[in-house]
Structures are given as C-alpha cells and as structure tokens.
Amino acid sequence: NAGVTQTPKFQVLKTGQSMTLQCAQDMNHNSMYWYRQDPGMGLRLIYYSASEGTTDKGEVPNGYNVSRLNKREFSLRLESAAPSQTSVYFCASRDQQNGYTFGSGTRLTVV
C-alpha cells in the first residue's frame, strides 16, 4: 500500500541512549518532515527536507539530527536521549497539490 512507513512503533530508552527513527515513503514526494506531538501543544516541526540532499531546522531541532538518505527515506536520530524527548513522533511527506500524508507514528518514552 502506498504511504509513509515509520519504524519502530514503540520504543523505551534510558536517558543518554541513542536511537534512529526510520521513515520511508513510496509516493515519490520531494518534501519530508519530522514532527513531535505532545499533549496540549499540537504538532511541532523538528526538521524538514525540501528535496533529496537538503535538510533544514524546524521549530524544535535541539537534541535531534536528520539524514535524507535518498528521495524515499528520511531518518531522525536522537544522539543522547533525554526525558524531555518523550513524545509521539510523526514523519510526513507532501506532494505539490495536497497536504501532508503522515506515518503511523512512533511512541517514544525516555526514562
């Protein structure tokens, strides 16, 4: 099925551990995004990639890094996880005509 695939769906990390969230889309979209969603705060943009080979900071980039591996894949890395990074993470991609298509999300808990 066409869409945006995120892995893993759930993850528990200890403070200071690192991990990479994976995202892939098969819709041939140029733009891809990483958001986090916290209660009462809506979706906040972490990083985005307007096209293959480019990445830019969003609203809340501190503590994160990204890689646009190719047109399909856009990964998000936490180098040293902190409890403040406990959140639900969504990857999304966009074509020229429509709004975003979101992945199913990753629920991350940092203890």
Partner 1 sequence: QKEVEQNSGPLSVPEGAIASLNCTYSDRGSQSFFWYRQYSGKSPELIMSIYSNGDKEDGRFTAQLNKASQYVSLLIRDSQPSDSATYLCAVKASGGYNKLIFGAGTRLAVHP
- From 13-21, 32-40, 61-69, 72-80, span contacting partner 1 (CB under 8 A): 32-40
CA distance 15 to 51: 33
Q: Which of 5, 45, 52, 86 binds partner 1 (CB under 8 A)?
A: 45
Helix (H, G, I), strand (E, B) or coil at 62: coil
Rounded to whole angstroms, the Cα distance separating 85 from 109 reads 8
DSSP-derived letter for residue 39 is T
Stretch that binds partner 1, among 16-24, 67-75, 77-85, 100-108 (CB under 8 A): 100-108
In the list 5, 7, 50, 61, the residue contacting partner 1 (rule: CB under 8 A) is: 50
